Amino acid sequence: MKIFFDTEFTGLHKNTTLISIGLVDENDRKFYAEFTDYNKSQCDDWIKENVISNLSLGNYEHYGIVPKDNLTLVCGDKEFIKNKLCEWLSSYFIVQLISDVCHYDMVLFIDLFGSAWDLPKNINPACHDINQDIASHYCISEIEAFDLSREEIIETYNKLIKEKWPEEVIKIDGDKHNALYDAKVIKEIYKIIIL
């Protein structure tokens, strides 16, 4: 099963801490978690304005909701979220993770479990990165792909297909820099470019 995921974290440095994580599978089953134990002192104004302001679960400690509408919501510390995520991932036989410029995302995902050796056995420890797919698809460098707006890719796709196939127009609810929203964007771009 392909699972598209994104994380939000406290900064682009080696001691960064997770703020949130969002995952969505090929069948639209979703997991979203917000961490209560991230290092708030590492959050600069950009993180506060663009990430913290998009958190939606409040400051509940050890809060989990049984899946509703294919969405599992969790709020708590790193250990609590790891356990809930293990439960959620246990229903899959083999998981291929897919992210966008996944270097921090995958390191933080692995760190959530301790090390790559501690990942659930059904998880491939190598993550697929769609930034490389975007570069290849548009015949541009990976740097140019990095700077290409993901929302513009979806908007361009929608313009091309809306006349002939209006039912295929992509609509994504949520806010940019929310981990679940970004995971949904990754999934849709993967479908546009790869499938």
The two tokens of residue 53 are 């302001």
**Interval 81-96 mean pLDDT:** 96
Q: Mean of the per-residue pLDDT values for the chain?
A: 93
Q: Can you tell me which residue has the tokens 């993901």?
A: 150
Q: Which residue, among 85, 77, 72, 73, has the nearest Cα to 61 in the 3D structure?
A: 77
| Domains in the chain: boundaries | 2-129, 131-193
CATH code of the domain occupying 2-129? 3.30.420.10
Which stretch of 16-30, 65-79, 106-120 has the lowest confidence by average pLDDT? 65-79
Contact 125, 110 (CB under 8 A): yes
Separation between Cα atoms, residue 168 and residue 42, nearest integer Å? 41
Q: CA-CA distances (angstroms) from residue 130 to 32, 101, 183?
A: 21, 7, 12
Cβ distance 37 to 81 under 8 Å? no
Amino acid 38: pLDDT: 95
**167 pLDDT more than 90:** no
Positions of E strands within 10-146? 18-25, 30-35, 63-68, 71-76, 96-99, 128-129
Give me the residues paired with residue 25 across strands. Answer: 3
Nearest to 189 by CA among 135, 130, 148, 144: 130
Please report which confidence band the pLDDT of residue 66 belongs to, taking 50, 70 and 90 as the band edges: low
Type of residue at 91: S
Instruction: Place 56 in a pLDDT band, splitting at 50, 70 and 90.
Output: confident
CA separation, residue 12 to residues 16, 34, 60 (Å): 7, 19, 26
- pLDDT at residue 9 in the model: 96
Tokens of 13: 């440095």
Q: Tell me what pLDDT residue 194 has.
A: 87
Residue 130 has pLDDT above 70, yes or no: yes
In the predicted model, what is the mean pLDDT of residues 16-32? 97
User: What's the mean pLDDT in 82-90?
Assistant: 96
